[in-house]
Structure 1
Amino acid sequence: MKLKIITVLLTISIIFSGCISQSAKNTGIKEETTDLKQEVTVPVGDRELFLDPLLGTSTSWHTRPLIFDTLLVSDREGIHPALASSVERTEDGKTWILHLLEGVKFHDGTPFDAYTASYSLNKSFGDSASRYGLTVESIEVIDNYTLNVTLGKPFGPFLDEVAAAWIVCPNCYDSDGEFKEAIGTGAFILENYSREEITLRANPDYWGGAPKIQKVIVKAIPDASTQVIAFEAGELDVIGADISGIGLSDVKRLGEDPRFEIYTRPDAQIDIIGFNVESEYFSDKKIREAVNYGIDRQELVDSVLEGYGIPAVGPIGYDDSIPWTNTEIEGYAYDPETAAELLKEAGWEDQDGDGIVEKDGKPFEINLIDANTRPYYRAMTEVIQAQLSKIGIKVNIRVLESGAYQTALKEKDFDMATIPNYGKRETDPYPYLFMFFCSKGTYPIMNNETFDGLYFRSLSTVDPEQREALYDQMQEVIMDECVCAFLMHPVKVGTAKKEFKNFELRHGFDGFIPFKKAYFSEE
């Protein structure tokens, strides 16, 4: 039987935005006329720097967009061409054909072609297969610039997995598969490397157009206040471009300095407090709803984020600017009176006048665990502690080391817990939904057969409109179960020297914008 081949259209809303030629060519914009040195020094909030793009830690997230490219690029507008110029698939969604750019070379002169792309995809897809059910039966080289990927079963977010697969030169790894050198096709070439500092130089032959910035220096500076001091002293050109961001207490002061420009970007990341629905307190849905009504999200944004945030509504986004958001969801307004009524209905009242509600003589006293994964989380949990005390709930905050925190999440050793942003990105949020809301996830706070069924149906559905309908239903189930409190979406904040132009921030987990179009100018 002949399978129908469907061309994946270059459209904004469904798959691709824009178009790209079949052959790579330099489309760089003419350099600005300026005497300023085109070198940028930027810090990251890590103690050590690593270069392996396949290393799943933040220490490699920051640098990989500078050195390496992907076949596709995924953002809130959709999925766009990069080293792959076009995509086709069979009607059943099991076979995908990737057409690649011609004439691209890795930094060491090795040609980029279907063989090197196949090598990279094979290295990247293994982890996804184990986590989300992506089954790759074969990656076949049709010709030098065409790949045929056959899946064991349809996988709806397949192109998102392709967009997450960094294309590496086989010479990056030794015969034992150990990473030895960073060689990509990206806009910048590795010049010097240490665990504390990386120096990159511009790739004059970059397929997407030579960058204007000629040198990038990346420094490991884990302390945010040290970054700010170095920035004000002129030793750094940009701060806040990495996942760590900068202390919000410094933002207003830096914004008042005429030497600097503040940059902000609404983000898909979300701060969450999860409930242990197996605990004696939160097994009752009325209690979970009461806590949601007892939290003032706008106060959290104003007092904790200095206004640089957006109150959360539901599991994914606050409006349709965040893809896959169910905009019909209304969320929880701050309503302490309703919270008190729900507590009373559940049998909790303040019977001795001490401000804490009791039931059968036992006070409502719970633990909230946190791993201090973000600089503002301590302040956030303290504000929540104060807000819930107003409705008669006493909250004890336990700050744990990362390992102990993850163990506590898995073993349900908590009443409430801050939930990290693992897998929460601007594009398809299936990793995040799996990790926390699917019963088979890594840190599941929910066990709901209806949700699980919808989730796994969405994975095997390739039609975007059908997948969106399934995602809407999943969000409704999460809200109905009320297994957590969605708090706020922090706005990404950074600052740069006034003369640093065309700088923009990326989504929190995507590392640096590759500075492909940035430059220094006095104009």
Structure 2
Amino acid sequence: MKRLLIVIVALWGLVTVAGCRVELTNLENTPVVMVTPTPTGTLSAERILRIGLVAEPPDLLPYHSTPTDERLSGAITELIFPSPLLPVNFTLQTTGVLTDLPSLANGDVVTTTVTVFRDALGQITDTPTEQTDEVTQVSVTFHWNAELRWSDGTPVTAADSVFAYELAQSADLGQAAASRLAMIARYEQVDEHTTRAVLNPDVTDPAYLTSFWIPLPRHLLSDVDPKQIWQSDFARRPVGYGPYMIRSFDGGSLELVRNPYYTGPKAPFDTILFVFRNDPAQLIELVNSGSLDLVFIEQPTPELLTSLLQSDNRGFQVSTSPNPIWEHLDFNLDVPLLQDIRVRRAIAYAINRPLLVEQLLGGKSNVLESWILPGQLGYPPLDQITRYPYNPDEARRLLDEAKLVDTDGDGWREYEGLPLLLSLVTSANSPLRQAVAERIANDLAQVGIQVEVTSLPVNELYSVDGPLYRRTFQLALFGWIAGPHPRGWELWSCAGVPGEANNWTGNNFAGWCFFEANEAINTATTVLDPEVQKAAYLRQQQLFTQELPVLPLFQRIDVLVARDGLSGWRLDPIAPFTWNISEWQLR
């Protein structure tokens, strides 16, 4: 089966209401923003929702350069360009943009058998050769809601979706768009409100359901240079088809008002005002004072989280949820010492992961026993995989068995006649990751292993020439962002090991190549039957947790702080926090 190797880059106001206006005053030289509702025949108070965010997105396009960028702006873009299929608790659901979810059962997903040519290396080629093969080709039909309107009143059509596809062929619309392009042979308009994605022959990627292209307004962008799309005025003030449209987007604040042409579920707010401040503590104070209604924070510092969870001030509500970013410790299996499974298991037993979650995440996340997250397809029954509870005595026993002992009584074990010292590389400027690295070093010291932590700038750590892709590390602490489907071929297949042969593009940084596990991940990511996928994922995880090339640690958390009187919001592990805004109420 043909595979798509996708490089995933890991990771990352004072408002007062007076009559019919909102003012932002006295915050770091932020200019005053006035919101004046349009007069109507009936005098009524404007319903305004005020939200605080830590980071201001550079643009509001529905396409995102990286998964990190998507998390930064997703809560806003979901209000302007609702996702055609939205993952909620890792399950795709319709939002009204598409009329239904494509499936084999309803005939919108079709498989056919086609004849292809293969070259001398067995790869599919357009050039006729003597070697032919019969393979599966998948096509997916998408039915767009005929009632969709751009916020300027123009109907949204299938042509707008095809226009986005054509734009992506000329401009870089981000990692997800590049992956989709690599998967698709062609994307075509069937009729005014129907498109079809035809995947490349022999591509049965689990992401086939997301082979659609979020519409972009052809009538507004057809004359824009595709390579300038990110720098265009449209990128900051796009015209969308969702429940809200942009009134203003100035430094420090964004104001959304209702899209008068939106026919979907009506949110209870006339205006949504976003305020951006890089100090989350300041934003929380604004909620506590009543100047903001809600603040969303991705992974607060341990100190701030402790303060929030222990606060006796019930002027606001605090809600937490694990998010899709999961932290892990990778072992470089090219390092002779770490090729000994007893050493890897000893390290796993020595790290007090429950205490990490308790102290750094307020007990609000999950200790991960495998790489598929709770809620994802393929999440394993925990009694069917190998687990590593905190047990320093077992860690010491395994190290002794591996003949790594302390011969001179200085508290440190020796390896090849020298004190056992492992280097751990991680990203700089991440308070959480620095705290985790420090605790890992302390835990391993308790069993006689010294750890030297090196923190690198993100662009250096994840560079193609950096220690991960070149596999020059010993231990590496970083995170992946999970998607709706676990996928995993890029992370765990033999072909995913970065090297000269694949131009250093794989994500299997541990270098784990285990034949049966490789076959299992190949099956899980190439069959269409979910039950077959689950069985293959279970077998792969049984081998993964047995061999332990990577130690999963925990999921990061999101925190939502809302003032009393705001209700209906529901944090989700993967959906943007505004995903169900039509259900919110403010009193």
Structures share fold, TM-score greater than 0.5 = yes
Q: Does 1:488 align with 2:554?
A: yes
Flag the structure with larger Rg.
Answer: 2
In the alignment, what sits opposite 1:300?
Answer: 356
Aligned to 2:305: 248
**Aligned mates of 1:508, 1:96 — CA distance in 2:** 24
Counterpart residue number, 1:8: none
Q: Does 2:48 match 1:39?
A: yes
Cα deviation, 1:267-287, whole Å, max 9, x if unaligned, reads: 443221111222243222211
- Structure 1 gaps, min length 5: 1-34
Q: Are 1:144 and 2:192 an aligned pair?
A: yes
Is 2:442 the partner of 1:442?
no
CA separation of 1:490/1:442 partners in 2, compared to 1, >3 Å: closer, same or farther?
closer
Contact 1:204 1:211 in 2 (8 A): no
1:76/1:323 contact within 8 Å kept: no
Q: Please give the alpha-carbon distance, in whole angstroms, between the structure 2 residues aligned to 1:325 and 1:307.
A: 21
Counterpart code for 1:418:
L
> What does residue 67 of structure 1 align with?
80
TM-score (norm. length: structure 2): 0.75
Partner of 1:479: 545
1:394 to 446, 450, 470: 450
Aligned residue in 1 for 2:292: 236
- Matched with 2:257 is 201
Q: Which residue of 2 aligns with 1:414?
A: 473
Task: Between 499-508 and 509-518, report the one with greater CA deviation.
Answer: 509-518
> 1: CA distance between counterparts of 2:366 and 2:331?
22
Residue 133 to residue 482, structure 1, CA distance change in 2 (3 Å): farther
* Letter in structure 1 aligned against 2:553: L
Query: Do 2:248 and 2:255's aligned partners in 1 also have CA atoms closer than 8 Å?
Result: yes
1:455 has 2:521 as partner: yes
CA–CA separation in structure 2 for the residues paired with 1:173 and 1:439: 41
CA distance in 2, matches of 1:123, 1:468: 36
Structure 2 CA distance for partners of 1:224 and 1:443, relative to 1, 3 Å:
farther
Q: Provide the C-alpha distance between the structure 1 equivalents of 2:177 and 2:309, rounded to a whole number of angstroms.
A: 45
1:347 aligned residue (403, 409, 417): 403
* 1:213 and 1:515 in contact (8 A); partners too: no
Residue 90 in structure 1 maps to residue 102 in structure 2: no
Quickly say closer, same or farther: Cα 1:224–1:408, change in 2 above 3 A.
farther
Alpha-carbon distance in 2 for matches of 1:194, 1:436: 44
Deviation per CA, 1:345-393, whole angstroms, max 9, x where unpaired? 2221111122111123211112222214654222222221111111111
CA distance in 2, matches of 1:199, 1:145: 31
1:446 counterpart letter in structure 2 = G
Q: Tell me which residue corresponds to 2:206.
A: 157
Cα separation, 1, equivalents of 2:166 and 2:177: 11
CA contact under 8 A between 2:90 and 2:376: conserved in structure 1?
no
Q: Output the TM-score relative to the length of structure 1.
A: 0.83
- Number of aligned residue pairs: 479
AA paired with 1:140? E
For the residue of structure 2 that corresponds to 1:309, the secondary structure is coil
Equivalent of 1:276 in 325, 332, 350: 332
2:486 is aligned, of 418, 422, 429, to 429
Give the alignment of 1:98-247 within 5 angstroms.
98-123=142-167, 127-128=175-176, 131=179, 134-153=182-201, 154-162=203-211, 165-170=213-218, 171=220, 174-177=223-226, 178-179=228-229, 180-181=233-234, 182-240=238-296, 242-245=297-300, 247=304
* Distance in 2 between residues matched to 1:390 and 1:429, nearest whole Å: 35
Is residue 421–residue 451 contact of structure 2 (8 Å, CA) maintained in 1? Answer: yes
Within 2, Cα distance between the matches of 1:433 and 1:509? Answer: 23
Matched, 1:313 2:313: no
User: Deviation string for 1:330-356 (max 9, x for gaps)?
Assistant: 421111121112111222111112211
Which shifted more, 291-300 or 264-273? 264-273
Could you say if the C-alpha distance between residues 39 and 514 of structure 1 is closer, same or farther in structure 2, counting changes exceeding 3 Å? farther
For 1:436 and 1:62, locate their aligned partners in 2 and report how far apart those are by CA, in whole Å: 31
Hey, what's the Cα distance between the residues in 1 that align with 2:536 and 2:571?
31
| Amino acid across the alignment from 2:138 | K
Q: State the Cα distance separating 1:421 from its structure 2 match.
A: 2.1
Partner secondary structure for residue 382 of structure 1? helix
Corresponding residue for residue 49 of structure 1: 58
User: Structure 1's 120 and 375: CA in aligned 2 closer, same or farther, altered over 3 A?
Assistant: farther
Tell me if the contact between 2:385 and 2:546 (Cα under 8 Å) persists in the aligned partners. no
3-state SS of 1:270 partner: strand
Identify if the C-alpha distance between structure 1 residues 283 and 169 changes in structure 2 by more than 3 Å, giving closer, same or farther: same
Deviation at 1:129, TM superposition (A): 7.7
Q: CA shift at 1:43, angstroms?
A: 2.6
CA-based RMSD of the aligned residues comes to 2.7
Name the counterpart of 1:11: none
Instruction: Check the 8 A contact 1:203/1:211 in 2, yes or no.
Output: no
Q: Which amino acid aligns with 1:105?
A: R
Give the residue type in structure 2 aligned to 1:90. Answer: V
Matched, 1:405 2:425: no
**Cα pair distance change 1:156/1:135, threshold 3 Å:** closer
1:367–1:512 distance in 2 versus 1, CA, 3 Å: farther
Is contact 1:274–1:417 with CA below 8 Å preserved after alignment? yes
Residues 427, 478 of structure 2: 8 Å contact kept: no
How many percent identity over aligned positions? 19
Give me the whole-angstrom Cα distance separating, in 2, the residues matched to 1:66 and 1:393. Answer: 50
Structure 2: 5+ residue runs without aligned partners? 1-43, 103-107, 113-136, 499-505
Secondary structure of 1:420's counterpart equals: strand
Per-residue CA deviation, residues 12-62 of structure 1 (Å, 9 max, x unaligned), is xxxxxxxxxxxxxxxxxxxxxxx9852222233225532122132424334
Matched AA of 1:148 = R
How far 1:480 moved relative to its partner?
2.9
C-alpha spacing 1:375/1:443, structure 2 compared with 1 (3 Å):
farther
